[in-house]
Structure 1
Amino acid sequence: MKKNLIGIAVAGAFAFAASTAAVADEVAYDGSWYALPGVNVMHADSKLETGSSRAGGFLKFGKEISEHWDVQVGLGHNRSYDDFDGAEGKYRQTTFGVDALYFFSREKFRPFLLAGVGAARNDIDYKTTVVSGAGPVGTQIGDKKTSWMANVGLGAQYLFNENFGLQADLRHVWSRAEYMGSDAQFDTHTVGNTYLNLGAIFRFGGAKPAPVVEPTPEPVVAPEPAPEPAPAPAPEPVGPAEPAFEKVTLSSEVLFGFDKDNLKEEGKAALNADVVEKMKAHPEVELVLITGHTDRIGNDAYNQQLSERRANTVKKYLVAQGIEESRLHAVGKGESEPVAECAGVRGKKAIECLQPNRRVVVEIEVQRAGN
């Protein structure tokens, strides 16, 4: 009954989460820590011949490591009672483990796969209630055993805001237990229990927004009287055009998909119009610098690598369009040169505000009529 109630609660909570995720604000990855207390129910291995499980509990602590990975460490406990033919008693399992979670999304609804290792203590406290091959009434047919533990599973998180959310998962846990087998001899056996877990997420320690600094107003200075207009100078003869530098800034949203480094068709068209045609028209240009930039959301090292990959993608495309590779140089600056700070802005608004920082800049020297 308790397992059914918790299962219904988990299904209801995540059905609501899935229905609202499409319209909710995004909660971007920011490297937060979090506490994860919760409850669980256990379906014990059939070899243990236990009855219905009682509600147990767990306490874990987690850390967002990267765009896709979390690590969680913590304790769990559950127990069951039974009164079967010829014996009665209780079974308890306590676990301590470290889990790695792979997330498919960092939006509010976050499905994941998990795997982990650790230690488990299995306490099988069964005694005989009738005379049998195991011995007289009251004979102990189980014992305490501490062993290795391994588990795998799947689940999901849902974040209601930047500080609070829920996590549910279904996992299978293997360990070693000691009990009397059908041959009336004590032995150590591998057992596998299945757990349904539901916990509350309390996030803390993520990247803090920069403090909002109010700009200092400029002093008001009275304008000076306009000088008398000077006579117009004689027009100078038109000479050869001076070389001028032209900088083309292309939005990453135009060139690439979210978190991708392969060019979209829209991005190829923009490069053809803004870069390829000009470079073919000006073969005298000997060096073109292609610089990739990202915003501050996410891991510094990851952002640096993404900016380098995007800059090199643009370079390879220009070479494929007939531009000599010797004229091109690609670099990535990551999040180090923002053009928009967006102090004090978080969530989806921060993603929109920081859009100008996600860009690729192409600097070319062309010979044209000077301004």
Structure 2
Amino acid sequence: MPATRLMPTEEGQDLIDLTREICAKELLPQVDEAERRAATTPELPVDAFRTLGKAGLLSLPYPEEFGGADQPYEVYLQVVEEIAWAWMSVAVGVSVHSLTCYPVAQFGTRAQQEALLPAMLSGDQLGAYCLSERAAGSDIASMTTKATPDDQADPTAYRIKGTKAWISHAGHADFYTSFVRTSDDGGRGLSCFVVPGDATGLTFGTPEKKMGLHCDTVSEVHFDGVEVGADRLVGERGQGMAIALSALDSGRLGIAAAATGLAQRALDDAVAYAKEREQFGRPIADNQGLAFILADMEAAVTSARAAFLHAARLRDAGRPFSKEAAVAKLVATDNAMRVTTDAVQVLGGAGYTQDFPLERFMREAKVTQIFEGTNQIQRLVIGRHLLKG
């Protein structure tokens, strides 16, 4: 389990301790069987999210006046890391939910914040972030899902038509933070709407059969003339690209923290196995070659944690952190892939079987290099920051 680290406040440490207790009592006992079941019959672990919601862990970085906990991002990310140590699918879901609340919290009007955020942050709701499309992944400006004014029925409403892809919580979410085209002006023609989960015309595809994260249910979201009021347009028309990119900076830190928690768990399991497994009359941990592998794994986990905490502290201080968020996401997820792969190697043939969870960790780590912007996109973002001006 991740080592205790200095918190900005005593309250922050209490939240970390509470998260560890919930993970040990509520999440760990069910994760293995739930992930096995979901591999053939996808299911979202709703009860796990309810448990976290009741504990106030789904709204940590948001204002207390709207139902949040007013915690620094540094604390929130360490909570995500703890959850990922126990159950990666749930940690990803927590990060996604936080991402869905961000546009209203950061760009919404006061009236929108008062109307929408209390329910979003209540712990009873779960959100979905509808950005990607089959032909619009990294190139979000090429999206085709469109919102047009409903001039005939209600001139203050919009009708949304199109399909979003790779959407976590699709079919289960209470609201869908959706980015759609409101004009043909390329990236400047995108806008953000918060669509209720029970809106007429909102339907969902068959859950994707994925390599890992089976309890993170993902499918298409179909908008078939979904009506949404103008009061659910977040920000200005045409501001959607800026909102999406701003949200992704914070979302990338959530994935970096989750990837670090996953890597820490793989390292912990590998160390425990190396101490117990004997060959040639002694524990395999006594072999210098294997000890060096473990040392490299520790260095990778520690550097990943340092990267996302550094970016979080910049964010908490109100300073620019976009480049640092990309660095953290790149470092943490590449390291998670390497650490989980090495953990399987430490266990040898046993690591390749489903008798141990290491093979699952390795499969779960892979997608962290892909979502919230592929790591090639992170390199592009970092390079642009370095070379601009």
Give the TM-score of the pair, scaled to structure 1: 0.22
Normalized per residue, the structure richer in helix is 2
More strand by share: 1
Greater Cα radius of gyration, structure 1 or 2:
1
